């Protein structure tokens, strides 16, 4: 459970116009996150654009990260793929390369059944032999993990965590209570969807799988630590500073906004993989405005 707790920061995977990794820039992102003190690094998640990269480029990205991290911070790597055999290969490669944990989403063109997802996770968990987090991301995969399936998956060796989307009714405590009733005691229940981090953490979520921490780790960590300490006023203060950025995440999608943040922070002109388009100049100005209170927190 300790692997999937606290703040897990998910950086972009910086590539050039030909889709080739920029290793030095990735290492700069990782060093910033580690210097801030995040609890783990989430490589090749949705923010890392894993779905747009070839398996070979994903393996190269992982090795670049492992070399940089050198065991200083736990490293979780996404191994989702359209087919089970590719996901198994990525999971085995992650273990061999030196990753500490796996993140698996059920990618598919065809809608999947619960049984298909169960068998997919069973195979990938066995291949990887590392602690594995269920990535429940219906916004992109169009598959929703219900409590019964999560309970069944939690019985598989190495499946130790779930990364949940924000509940539509906002009842974090109720959802966690229902999941804890059907999963082992040490099974970690965390959340993604950055604008819900405040409520998820205060309700007892074990981990914030954070997009924004990939580029702004200091204010994200400040919010996380305040929540862990039960400092409600502090959490509200940090969340208020984030509020303009949360609004942009909801409006444009966090993936697009993160590329704009990277440019504004001076990391150079990296662009999202086509067909995703970068934000226009007017929207970029709104991102700059939203960053000001957060950069004060970081300072």
Residue ranges of the binding site for pyruvate: 47
Q: Which residue is catalytic, options 50, 52, 59, 163?
A: 163
Active-site residue, 198 included = no
Q: How far apart are CA 298 and CA 14, in angstroms?
A: 22
Active-site residue, 163 included = yes
**List of residues 6+ apart from 261 with CB closer than 8 A:** 215, 216, 287, 291
CA distances from 120 to 48, 81, 85, 157, 291 (A): 22, 10, 9, 14, 40
**List of residues 6+ apart from 193 with CB closer than 8 A:** 165, 166, 200
- Residue 147: how many CB atoms within 10 A of its CB? 13
What three-state secondary structure class fits 178? helix
Report the candidate in 212, 211, 237 with the shortest Cα–Cα distance to residue 223.
Answer: 237
Binding residues: 47
Q: Which residue is catalytic, options 135, 172, 191, 209?
A: 135
Helix (H) or strand (E) holding 266: none
The catalytic site residues sit at 135, 163
């Amino acid at each position: 459970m300790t692997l999937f707790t606290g703040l897990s920061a998910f950086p972009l995977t910086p590539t050039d116009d030909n889709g080739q990794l920029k290793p030095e820039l990735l290492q700069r992102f990782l060093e910033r996150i580690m210097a801030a003190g995040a609890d783990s690094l989430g490589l090749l998640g949705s923010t890392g654009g894993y779905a747009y990269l070839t398996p070979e480029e994903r393996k190269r990205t992982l090795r670049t990260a492992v070399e940089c991290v050198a065991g200083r911070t736990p490293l979780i790597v996404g191994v989702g793929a359209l087919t089970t055999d590719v996901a198994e290969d990525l999971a085995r490669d992650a273990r061999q390369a030196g990753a500490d944990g796996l993140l698996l989403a059920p990618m598919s063109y065809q809608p999947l059944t619960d049984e298909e997802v169960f068998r997919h996770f069973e195979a990938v968990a066995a291949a990887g032999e590392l602690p594995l987090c269920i990535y429940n991301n219906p916004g992109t995969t169009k598959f929703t993990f219900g409590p019964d399936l999560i309970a069944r998956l939690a019985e598989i060796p190495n499946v130790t965590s779930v990364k949940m989307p924000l509940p539509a009714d906002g009842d974090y405590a109720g959802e966690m209570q229902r999941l804890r009733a059907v999963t082992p005691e040490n099974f970690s229940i965390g959340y993604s969807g950055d604008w819900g981090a405040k409520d998820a953490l205060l309700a007892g979520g074990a981990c914030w799988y954070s997009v924004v921490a990939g580029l702004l780790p200091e204010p994200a960590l400040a919010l996380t630590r305040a929540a862990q300490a039960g400092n409600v006023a502090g959490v509200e203060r940090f969340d208020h500073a984030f509020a303009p950025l949360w609004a942009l995440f909801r409006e444009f999608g966090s993936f697009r906004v993160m590329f704009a943040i990277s440019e504004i922070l001076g990391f150079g002109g990296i662009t999202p993989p086509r067909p995703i388009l970068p934000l226009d100049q007017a929207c970029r100005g709104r991102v700059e405005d939203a960053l000001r209170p957060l950069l004060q927190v970081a300072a």
